[in-house]
């Protein structure tokens, strides 16, 4: 009897290891958290979905560029918001080195660039052209920027290369980096009362589009290589003389060992796909409704069961 049980057990084990029933590792799946709201809420949404499935999840706050190196090395398991404009270069560099995989696109179109609330156009009617913006530079001048216009760029780790663009296109602007995303919203909010012209970094999908109608500045269109080859773009001697992609991707990425270690979770990650309105809603729950990210995620999951239950069954 004992012998038979042993044989059976061995047989069952052999069967398990050669079929698709391998269980996910109980080690925590490490999900990185960055410094803009949709990414923080989406990461909590996906973390809560994976916990619901029985996975262990750990969140770590990381730099949004260095994360691609951490994923490649397996220290971080996935990234849920790879924005083409801000992170395409770091993601491509990590892909070339190996250790990270492209887990596909969200059903979303993204744009990240210089942006103004619509009232700004009253003072600078030639907008959205970047040349018209530059001709209006003086209306964006502050005590801090002297004769030149002030452009409030994103936090440094988003690597928007605002300074390089100003130099490459010979613009009369001073680039100031915001300390946080909240500083961008404060700048727009402060300008709103007296409809003062402002130009700041912004993106879509985001909660901001539902609050302040506005437009992106139209720079020379992005071309592949604009960040690598000076010949690309209107200035033959400079990099970054183009706008960011106007119809950028939003990808998911993972450590290339994830599929073997957490096959079920990886299968869910492959299916996950959020849309522009869903992503804007995630940001709104934090930036307008002022929920904590984990509560925002729980609320989002509660209201969107039809969306995510299909991914886990």
Name the token pair of 177: 């980096």
Angle of helix 293-303 relative to helix 276-287, nearest 10 degrees? 140
Residue 158 touching ligand TMO (CB under 6 A): yes
Task: Find the binding residues for ligand TMO in span 240-299 (CB under 6 A).
Answer: none
Member of 86, 188, 272, 286 binding ligand TMO (CB under 6 A): 86
Query: Other C-beta atoms within 10 Å of 71: how many?
Result: 26
Member of 36, 185, 212, 300 binding ligand TMO (CB under 6 A): 36
Closest among 250, 269, 253, 262 to 308, alpha carbons compared: 269
* Closer to ligand TMO by Cβ: residue 266 or 274: 274
Residue 203 touching ligand TMO (CB under 6 A): yes
- Rounded Cα–Cα distance for residues 313 and 294 (Å): 23
Task: Please tell me the total number of residues recorded for the chain in this structure.
Answer: 313
Q: Provide the minimum distance between the beta carbon of 244 and ligand TMO in the complex, in angstroms, as a whole number.
A: 9
Distances (CA, A) of 174 to 159, 165, 168: 16, 11, 13
Q: Provide the minimum distance between the beta carbon of 36 and ligand TMO in the complex, in angstroms, as a whole number.
A: 4
Residue 151 touching ligand TMO (CB under 6 A): no
* Closer to ligand TMO by Cβ: residue 69 or 79: 79
Member of 69, 112, 187, 241 binding ligand TMO (CB under 6 A): 112
Query: Residue 107: is the preceding peptide bond cis (ω within 30°)?
Result: no
Residue 108 touching ligand TMO (CB under 6 A): no
Q: Can you give the binding site for ligand TMO, defined by CB under 6 A?
A: 36, 83, 86, 112, 154, 158, 203
């Amino acid at each position: 009897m004992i012998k038979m049980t042993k044989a059976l057990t061995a047989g069952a084990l052999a069967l398990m290891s050669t079929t698709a029933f391998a269980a996910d590792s109980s080690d925590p799946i490490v999900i990185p958290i960055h410094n803009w709201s949709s990414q923080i809420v989406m990461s909590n949404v996906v973390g809560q979905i994976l916990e619901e499935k029985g996975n262990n999840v750990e969140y770590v706050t990381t730099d949004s560029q260095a994360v691609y190196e951490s994923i490649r090395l397996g220290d971080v398991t996935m990234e849920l918001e790879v924005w083409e404009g801000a992170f395409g270069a770091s993601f491509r560099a990590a892909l070339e080195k190996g250790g990270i995989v492209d887990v596909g696109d969200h059903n979303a179109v993204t744009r990240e660039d210089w942006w103004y609330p619509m009232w700004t156009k009253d003072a600078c009617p030639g907008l959205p052209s970047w040349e018209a913006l530059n001709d209006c530079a003086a209306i964006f001048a502050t005590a801090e920027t002297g004769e030149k216009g002030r452009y409030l760029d994103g936090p440094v780790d988003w690597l928007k290369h605002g300074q390089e663009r100003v130099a490459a296109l010979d613009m009369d602007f001073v680039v100031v980096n915001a300390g946080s995303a909240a500083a961008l919203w404060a700048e727009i909010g402060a300008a709103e009362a007296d409809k003062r012209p402002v130009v700041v970094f912004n993106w879509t999908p985001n909660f901001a589009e539902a609050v302040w109608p506005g437009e992106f500045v139209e720079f020379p269109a992005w071309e592949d290589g604009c960040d690598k080859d000076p010949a690309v773009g209107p200035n033959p001697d400079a990099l970054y003389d183009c706008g960011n992609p106007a119809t950028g991707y939003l990808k998911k990425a993972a450590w290339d060992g994830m599929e073997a270690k957490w096959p079920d979770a990886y299968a869910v990650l492959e299916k996950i796909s959020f849309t522009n309105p869903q992503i804007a809603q995630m940001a709104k729950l934090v930036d307008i409704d002022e929920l904590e990210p984990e509560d925002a995620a729980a609320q989002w999951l509660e209201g969107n069961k039809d969306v995510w239950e299909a991914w886990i069954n």
